[in-house]
C-alpha cells in the first residue's frame, strides 16, 4: 500500500504558542485514518495547514508524490483533497441542491450537468427530498450530511472530515458513519478528526493521536486503545474501566 | 413562456415610451435618469448583490468613463464610440488595481478601500490640469453619424441599450457557473474556497464586469450632459445613491435594481421639483407659514438623499429582500 498524503515535520506557531510541533505521519490510499487528541491538541490547526487555510512555519506536505505547501484551498480541492468543517458552513440562502452543485462545478462548467450529478449525490446521502429548501433551514444532522454530499460532488481523492459526528445523536452518528463507509467503498481516502471514540475505533483502519501539538502515538485502533500514554493523555481512566 | 413575455412587453413599452409622452423633453430627461440609475445599480449588483462585495465607490468607474470620453473628445474629432471604449479601459484598470490589492483581504476591507479609491480618483481629477480641475469639462460640439444629438431621444435609446446590456450580462452570469460561484462567495468565503472556487479571481471578474458597465453608462451620461465636474460624476453621494437603489429594489436579482430606479428616481424628482410640498400646501393640509410647511417648501428639495436614507432603513427593517422580495414572498 502506498501513502496518498504524507506530512513531514509540520510546525505551526501562533505567536509564542506552538500549535503543531514537528508532526509527521502518512495516510495510506483507501484507508480511513483517525486523527484524535484532546481539545487544543492541534487537530484543526493541522487540517487548516493541510488544506491551505493557514501557512506552515516548517515542514512539508506531500499529496500524490507532489509537494503542496503554500497552495490555496481551491487549488487543494482541485487536486482532489477536500475538507468539511467542524462548525458546518452551509451556503445558507442557496438551496440544498445548489450547495451540492457548487461542489460539482469542479468537474463541469454546465449548471445542467452539475445539477444532475448533485441530485445523485443528494440521493446517495438521503437528502434529495430537501433539494429545493434553503440550506440554512436544515437541522444540524442534515447539514452535516449536506457537507458530505457537497464534498462528494467534487469527486475527491481524499476527504478531511473535521468532527463530522460532533453534536449528533446516536442514530444520526450511525447514518453519517454509513455515508463515510460508502465514501470509502467508492475508493476515497479519508482522514477523520473525531471526539467520539466509539465512532473512531469502529470505523478507522489506523489512528494518529495528537497531544499538545505533538504526535503521541500511531497505530491500529486496538494498539491505540491499549497504549498507556494515550489512555493517560486522552481517554482517561473512565474509558479504560468501560473497555 | 410567461418568463419571456413580461420582459418583452416591458421592453416594447420602453421602446415606445418617448412617443407616449409626446417626446416631452422633461419626461424624457427623467426617463433617461431612471435608465441610467437602473443600469448603474444593475452593474453594482453583480459584485454587490451576487458576490456580497459592497463597493461604496462606484462613482469612480462612472466618472472614469465620463471623464475619459469627454477629455478625448474635447478638441479631438474622434469617433465617440472609441472614446467610450477608452473609458472602459480606464475604469477596468482602476478596478483591476483595486481588486487585485484589496480582494486578498477579507471582511469589510473592500468596502472601505472602495471609498478610498473613489476619493483618490475624485481628488486627482479635482487637482490635475488635463481634467479641468474644479471647473470640469465642457464639450462644445458633438457629432455622431448624422444623428441629431441636441435631442434627448437618442440618449434615451442609448441608455436603454446600456440597461439591456447590463441586465443581459447579469442574466447570463446568473445562469452560468460564475453566478453560482459569486453567490457561494457571498454566503461563506471559506466554504466557497474549500469547494474549489478561486475566491479572489471571481471577485475580480465580478468587479471588472461591473466597472466596465458603469463606465459605459458614465460615458453616455457625459455625452448627454456635455458638461461634467468632479461634484457631478465622482461624488460619494452618487455611489451611495447607486447602492440604495439596488438595496431598495432588491439585491442579488436581475429586476431588483431596475425596480429600485423606477421607484426612486421619480421620487427624487418629485422632491427636487417641490411638487410634494406645493401639493400639500395648496390642498391646505399644511400651512406654508408653519415650520412644517416651511420645511416642505424650502427644505425637502435638498433632502432627497435623506429621504432615500429613511426609506433604506425602513427597507432593511421590514423588507430586507427589497421591494422585489415582497412580491416573491407572496407567490
pLDDT tens figures, A155-187: 999 999 999 888 889 899 999 999 999 999 999
- Residue A20 distance to chain B (closest CA, Å): 22
- Spatial CA neighbour of A160 closest among A17, A66, A22, A61: A61
ipTM here = 0.91
Domain membership of residue B301 (yes or no) is: no
Categorize the per-residue pLDDT at A241 as very low, low, confident or very high, splitting at 50, 70 and 90. Answer: very low
Q: What is the model's pLDDT at position B1?
A: 57
Residues of B with CB under 8 A from a CB of A: 175-177, 180-181, 183-184, 187-188, 190-199
Q: What are phi and psi of B54, to 5 degrees?
A: -80, 110
Minimum Cα–Cα distance from A87: chain B residue: B191
**Cα–Cα distance for residue pair A8/A46, rounded to 1 Å:** 12
Categorize the per-residue pLDDT at A208 as very low, low, confident or very high, splitting at 50, 70 and 90. Answer: very high
How many CB atoms neighbour CB B236 within 10 A? 15
**Cα–Cα distance for residue pair A68/A75, rounded to 1 Å:** 9
Please provide the average confidence, as pLDDT, over all residues in chain A: 91
Domain membership of residue B318 (yes or no) is: no
Angle formed at CA A97 by CA A95 and CA A101, multiple of 5 degrees: 115
Domain membership of residue B155 (yes or no) is: yes
Domain membership of residue B261 (yes or no) is: no
Please provide the average confidence, as pLDDT, over all residues in chain B: 88
Cα dist from B151 to A176, B26, B79, B155, whole Å: 68, 11, 19, 8
**Cα–Cα distance for residue pair B208/B198, rounded to 1 Å:** 16
Cβ contacts below 8 Å, chain A against chain B, sum to: 78
Inter-chain touch B196–A85, beta carbons under 8 Å: no
- Residue B133 distance to chain A (closest CA, Å): 44
Domain membership of residue B304 (yes or no) is: no
Per-residue model confidence as pLDDT tens digits over B260-299: 999 989 888 887 777 777 777 777 777 777 777 777 777 7
Total domains in the fold of chain B: 1
Among the partner residues A92, A103, A110, nearest to B195 by beta-carbon distance:
A103
Among the partner residues A53, A74, A92, nearest to B187 by beta-carbon distance:
A92
Among the partner residues A78, A94, A154, nearest to B184 by beta-carbon distance:
A94
**Cα–Cα distance for residue pair B298/B289, rounded to 1 Å:** 11
State the Rg of chain B over Cα. 20
**Cα–Cα distance for residue pair B311/B313, rounded to 1 Å:** 5
Complete DSSP assignment for chain A = --EEEEEEEEEEEETTEEEEEEEEEEEETT-EEEEE-STTSSHHHHHHHHTTSS--SEEEEEETTEE-TT--HHHHHHHTEEE--SS----TTSBHHHHHHHHHTTT-S-HHHHHHHHHHHHHHHT-GGGTTSBGGGS-HHHHHHHHHHHHHHT--SEEEEESTTTT--HHHHHHHHHHHHHHHHTT-EEEEE-S-HHHHHHH-SEEEEEETTEEEEEE-HHHHHT-HHHIIIIIHHHHHHH-
3-state SS string over chain B?
Answer: CHHHHHHHHHHHHHHHHHHHCCCCHHHHHHHHHHHHHHHHHHHHHHHHHHCCCCCCCCHHHHHHHHHHHHHHHCCCCCCHHHHHHHHHHHHHHHHHHHHHHHCCCCCCHHHHHHHHHHHHHHHHHHHCCCCCHHHCEECCCCCECCECCCCCHHHHHHHHHHHHHHHHHHHHHHHCHHHHHHHHHHHCHHHHHHCCCCHHHHHHHHHHHHHHHHHHHHHHHHHHHCEECHHHHCCHHHHHHHHHHHHHHCCCCCCHHHHHHHHHHHHHHHHHCCHHHHHHHHCCCCCCCCHHHHHHHHHHHHCHHHHHHHHHHHHHHHCCCHHHHHHHHHC
Domain membership of residue B169 (yes or no) is: yes
Minimum Cα–Cα distance from B182: chain A residue: A102
Per-residue model confidence as pLDDT tens digits over A217-229: 999 999 988 888 8
Inter-chain touch B199–A83, beta carbons under 8 Å: no
- Residue A107 distance to chain B (closest CA, Å): 10
Torsion sign (Cα): A213, A217, A221, A224: negative
- Is the distance from CB of B256 to CB of B246 less than 8 angstroms? yes
- Residue B185 distance to chain A (closest CA, Å): 9
**Cα–Cα distance for residue pair B293/B313, rounded to 1 Å:** 25
pTM to 2 decimals?
Answer: 0.90
Domain membership of residue B86 (yes or no) is: yes
Q: What is the model's pLDDT at position A234?
A: 66
Quote the crossing angle between the two packed helices B236-249 and B304-318, to the nearest 10°. 40
Q: What is the model's pLDDT at position B17?
A: 87
Q: What is the model's pLDDT at position B280?
A: 75
Spell out which residues of chain B touch residue A103, defining contact as CB-CB under 8 Å: 195-196
Q: Given a cut of 60, is residue A190 above it in pLDDT?
A: yes
Domain membership of residue B317 (yes or no) is: no
Spell out which residues of chain B touch residue A92, defining contact as CB-CB under 8 Å: 187-188
**Cα–Cα distance for residue pair A87/A134, rounded to 1 Å:** 18
Spell out which residues of chain B touch residue A106, defining contact as CB-CB under 8 Å: 195-196
**Cα–Cα distance for residue pair B221/B63, rounded to 1 Å:** 10
Beta strands B137-138 and A58-63, pairing class: unpaired
Scan residues 28-57 of A and list those with Cβ closer than 8 Å to B: 51, 53
Scan residues 145-184 of A and list those with Cβ closer than 8 Å to B: 150-151, 154
- Is the distance from CB of A225 to CB of A53 less than 8 angstroms? no
Q: Given a cut of 90, is residue A231 above it in pLDDT?
A: no
β-strand partners of A13:
A18
Minimum Cα–Cα distance from A147: chain B residue: B191
Quote the crossing angle between the two packed helices B236-249 and B59-73, to the nearest 10°. 130
How many percent of chain A have pLDDT more than 70?
A: 96
Which residues constitute the domain of residue B83?
A: 22-235
Q: Given a cut of 60, is residue A45 above it in pLDDT?
A: yes
Q: Given a cut of 50, is residue A242 above it in pLDDT?
A: no
Low-confidence ranges of chain B (pLDDT < 70): 1-2, 107, 326-331
Q: How many residues does chain B have?
A: 331
Torsion sign (Cα): A202, A207, A213, A217: positive
Spell out which residues of chain A touch residue B183, defining contact as CB-CB under 8 Å: 91, 93-94, 98
Amino acid at each position: 500500500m502506498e501513502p496518498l498524503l504524507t506530512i513531514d515535520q509540520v510546525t505551526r506557531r501562533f505567536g509564542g504558542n506552538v500549535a503543531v510541533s514537528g508532526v509527521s505521519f502518512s495516510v495510506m490510499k483507501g484507508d480511513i485514518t483517525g486523527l484524535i487528541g484532546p481539545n487544543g491538541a492541534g487537530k484543526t490547526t493541522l487540517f487548516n495547514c493541510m488544506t491551505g487555510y493557514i501557512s506552515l512555519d516548517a515542514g512539508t506536505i506531500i499529496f500524490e508524490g507532489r509537494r503542496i505547501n503554500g497552495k490555496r484551498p481551491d487549488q487543494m480541492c482541485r487536486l482532489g483533497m477536500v475538507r468539511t468543517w467542524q462548525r458546518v458552513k452551509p451556503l445558507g440562502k442557496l438551496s440544498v441542491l445548489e450547495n451540492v452543485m457548487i461542489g460539482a462545478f469542479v468537474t463541469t462548467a454546465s449548471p445542467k450537468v452539475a445539477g444532475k450529478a448533485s441530485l445523485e449525490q443528494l440521493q446517495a446521502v438521503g437528502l434529495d427530498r430537501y433539494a429545493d429548501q434553503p440550506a440554512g433551514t436544515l437541522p444540524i444532522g442534515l447539514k452535516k450530511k449536506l457537507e458530505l454530499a457537497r464534498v462528494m460532488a467534487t469527486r475527491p481523492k481524499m476527504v478531511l472530515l473535521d468532527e463530522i459526528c460532533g453534536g449528533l445523536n446516536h442514530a444520526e452518528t450511525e447514518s453519517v458513519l454509513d455515508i463515510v463507509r460508502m465514501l470509502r467503498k467508492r475508493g476515497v481516502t479519508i482522514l477523520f478528526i473525531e471526539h467520539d471514540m466509539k465512532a473512531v475505533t469502529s470505523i478507522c483502519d489506523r489512528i494518529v493521536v495528537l497531544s499538545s501539538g505533538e504526535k503521541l502515538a500511531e497505530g491500529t485502533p486496538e494498539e491505540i486503545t491499549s497504549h498507556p500514554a494515550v489512555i493517560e493523555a486522552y481517554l482517561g481512566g473512565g474509558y479504560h474501566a468501560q473497555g | 413562456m410567461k418568463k419571456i413575455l413580461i420582459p418583452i412587453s416591458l421592453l416594447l413599452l420602453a421602446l415606445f415610451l418617448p412617443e407616449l409622452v409626446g417626446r416631452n423633453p422633461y419626461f424624457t430627461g427623467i426617463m433617461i435618469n431612471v435608465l441610467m440609475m437602473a443600469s448603474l445599480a444593475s452593474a453594482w449588483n453583480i459584485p454587490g448583490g451576487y458576490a456580497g462585495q459592497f463597493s461604496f465607490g462606484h462613482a469612480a468607474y462612472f466618472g472614469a468613463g465620463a471623464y475619459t470620453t469627454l477629455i478625448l473628445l474635447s478638441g479631438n474629432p474622434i469617433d465617440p464610440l472609441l472614446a467610450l471604449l477608452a473609458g472602459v479601459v480606464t475604469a477596468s484598470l482602476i478596478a483591476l488595481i483595486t481588486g487585485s490589492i484589496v480582494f486578498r483581504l477579507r471582511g469589510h476591507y473592500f468596502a472601505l478601500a472602495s471609498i478610498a479609491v473613489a476619493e483618490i480618483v475624485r481628488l486627482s481629477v479635482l487637482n490635475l490640469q488635463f481634467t479641468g480641475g474644479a471647473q470640469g469639462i465642457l464639450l462644445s460640439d458633438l457629432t455622431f453619424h448624422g444623428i441629431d444629438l441636441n435631442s434627448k431621444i437618442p440618449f434615451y435609446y442609448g441608455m436603454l441599450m446600456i440597461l439591456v446590456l447590463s441586465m443581459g450580462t447579469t442574466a447570463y452570469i446568473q445562469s452560468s457557473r460564475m453566478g453560482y460561484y459569486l453567490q457561494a462567495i457571498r454566503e461563506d468565503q471559506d466554504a466557497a474556497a474549500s469547494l474549489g472556487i478561486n475566491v479572489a479571481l471571481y471577485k475580480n471578474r465580478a468587479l471588472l464586469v461591473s466597472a466596465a458597465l458603469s463606465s459605459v453608462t458614465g460615458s453616455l451620461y457625459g455625452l448627454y450632459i456635455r458638461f461634467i465636474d468632479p461634484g457631478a460624476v465622482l461624488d460619494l453621494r452618487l455611489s451611495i445613491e447607486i447602492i440604495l437603489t439596488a438595496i431598495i429594489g432588491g439585491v442579488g436579482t436581475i429586476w431588483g435594481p431596475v425596480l429600485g430606479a423606477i421607484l426612486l428616481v421619480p421620487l427624487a424628482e418629485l422632491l427636487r421639483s417641490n411638487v410634494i410640498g406645493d401639493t400639500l400646501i395648496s390642498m391646505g393640509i399644511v400651512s406654508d407659514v408653519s415650520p412644517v410647511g416651511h420645511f416642505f417648501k424650502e427644505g425637502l428639495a435638498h433632502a432627497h438623499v435623506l429621504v432615500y436614507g429613511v426609506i433604506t432603513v425602513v427597507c432593511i427593517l421590514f423588507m430586507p429582500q427589497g421591494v422585489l422580495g415582497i412580491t416573491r414572498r407572496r407567490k
